[in-house]
Amino acid sequence: MNTNHALPDANTRVATRANSAANTPLRSVFSRRSFFKTLAAAGAGAVFAPSILSARNPNSKLQIAVIGVGGRGGENIRELVAETKGSEKFFAFCDVNANTLRAQAKRYKVEHLFADYRELLEKQAGALDAVLVATLDHTHGIIACEAMKRGLHCYCEKPLARSVWENRQLALYARQNKKLCTQTGTQVRSWGSAHYYRGIEMLRSGAIGAPDDIEEVHVWCRGSYVPRKDPDGSAPVPAGLNYDLWLGPTPFRPFHPLWLSYSKYGFWHSGCGWITGMGPHTIDLAWTALNLAPPTQIEVDGPPPHPLYNRDNQHVVFTHPRPNGKTLKLHWYDGNRRPQGIAPERIDARADAGVLFVGKDGNLQIHYGYNKLLPAKKFAGQAVAPRLYAPSVGHHKQWLDAIKAGKPSQCECGFEYAAPYTEAITLAAQMHATGTKRLAWDAAALKTDSPLVNARLKPEFRDNWKFPEIAG
């Protein structure tokens, strides 16, 4: 095995993103290999449909199914159409809300409609090339793994899954069939403003010091999925909603309108809170830029846990080993929590969200709409890093181009890469749920030193909802 864990040479990717067929992804070789080194033997148990193994005409339309077509699903559909200029075909739509399904099918002229993804895949998998999963978090894992089991390329909204075990299953499916093109829905990577990659160019140029010497990263994001008041009682299921399918593999609970509110991502039965809602976007940047391996220790400081949802105002510290023998502390803050102890001129504390890299020669702060070197006076007038990356073709188009080219490596946020950091942030959520303040994490063995958290690594599945498990 190659044991060179140095940062990838950015010059190998100069201007390649304009030509997606030649694109080499910016991903963590070290973390991926460490994550899977004990799982190599699991491939014998995987069974895949043969449909993707044959060569296809790269100019032909891809047949795509979208599962979950309202909310984030609707946004994904619009983004995909805009990026591809409508060049591909939506073959089938699936949604548990009949009203949403009909409206979206009419708008995009889709004929094959389903309420149950299992029926869709059973009847139409042979006609499909790819599946886009944009349901709620609690059904991401089971749907995406079932699609990949049938040999279908898969795009899945973030977080990949709401449990550590399901994230691992997604990564295993992607690893065990190298011809599958997978992409995680962290679209900020591909925004036209290019702050994500511009920040990496600045960081890797040594503008704030050697990247290997960075020992602190601070990530904060204002927001919350905490409901204004706790749910009380139950209510009739709205017309058009198949509530049993909405619950999917999770244990039954009486319907309440809050299950469909903005807070739905914070309730334990359908999500894990703000850290898994926004963390994949922001923590992803640190993992990519610094080539991080999974953390070995996680600490959580926050309010007492709530039985129904993840509270905000938390400070989480992930301790990552570095190839040079040092460690890196990655801090996450939500609610009203913000980084402390940083000199005012080295942080823009006015920003509602940011990713702050603390270097020996200065700091670099990045988020969706900006990147800046701090202190501002020190860097005023200085030349910044040269631009190395051409504009992105778009997050969805990158995935579709990879499918047509038969090159999964073109997907910069494939499941193998994204699963380890999603596992880490999901662990932090489960620590809060159990009131666990600190734990040691052994990613290769898929276990912690906390019996309470270990009991929550794999969720309970309802009868008749069989997860397509791969042993590993």
**Would you state the pLDDT for residue 106?**
98
pLDDT in tens, 122-172: 999 999 999 999 999 999 999 999 999 999 999 999 999 999 999 999 999
pLDDT band at 411 (very low <50, low <70, confident <90, very high): very high
- Distant-in-sequence, close-in-space partners of 455: CB < 8 Å, separation ≥ 6: none
Question: pTM here?
Answer: 0.88
Burial class of residue 341 (count of CB atoms within 10 Å of its CB; 0-12, 13-18, 19+) = exposed
- Distant-in-sequence, close-in-space partners of 133: CB < 8 Å, separation ≥ 6: 67, 68, 139, 140, 143, 144, 147, 154, 155, 156, 157
Residue 56 pLDDT > 60: no
Task: Name the helix (H) or strand (E) containing 447.
Answer: strand 447-448
Considering only the C-alpha atoms of the chain, give the largest distance between any 2 of them, rounded to a whole number of Å: 64
pLDDT in tens, 442-464: 999 999 999 999 999 999 999 98
pLDDT in tens, 63-77: 999 999 999 999 999
- Higher-pLDDT residue of 14, 306: 306
**Would you state the pLDDT for residue 53?**
37
> What is the identity of the amino acid at 236?
P
Q: Which range has the worst mean pLDDT, 50-64, 407-421, 452-466? A: 50-64
pLDDT in tens, 179-202: 999 999 998 888 766 688 888 899
Residue 176 pLDDT > 60: yes
**Would you state the pLDDT for residue 194?**
66
**Would you state the pLDDT for residue 381?**
85
Q: CA torsion, points 140, 145, 146, 148, in degrees to nearest 10?
A: 120
**Would you state the pLDDT for residue 219?**
97
CATH fit for domain 23-191+395-414, picks 3.50.50.60, 2.40.30.30, 2.60.40.10, 3.40.50.720: 3.40.50.720
pLDDT in tens, 308-340: 999 999 999 999 999 889 999 999 999 999 999
**Would you state the pLDDT for residue 310?**
97
- Higher-pLDDT residue of 42, 210: 210
**Would you state the pLDDT for residue 387?**
82
> How many angstroms separate the CA atoms of 296 and 322, rounded?
11
pLDDT band at 341 (very low <50, low <70, confident <90, very high): very high
pLDDT in tens, 352-406: 999 999 999 999 999 888 889 999 999 998 877 888 777 889 999 999 999 999 9
Single out the residue of 278, 270, 275, 226 nearest to residue 248, CA to CA. 270
Residue 342 pLDDT > 90: yes
> How many angstroms separate the CA atoms of 334 and 101, rounded?
34
> How many angstroms separate the CA atoms of 123 and 118, rounded?
9
Q: Which range has the worst mean pLDDT, 16-20, 175-179, 331-335? A: 16-20
**Would you state the pLDDT for residue 58?**
52
Mean pLDDT for all residues in the chain: 87
- Going across the sheet that includes 353-358, the strands are 370-374, 363-367, 353-358, 216-221, 327-334, 315-321, 297-301, 438-442, 447-448
pLDDT in tens, 214-252: 999 999 999 999 999 999 999 999 999 999 999 999 999
**Would you state the pLDDT for residue 372?**
93
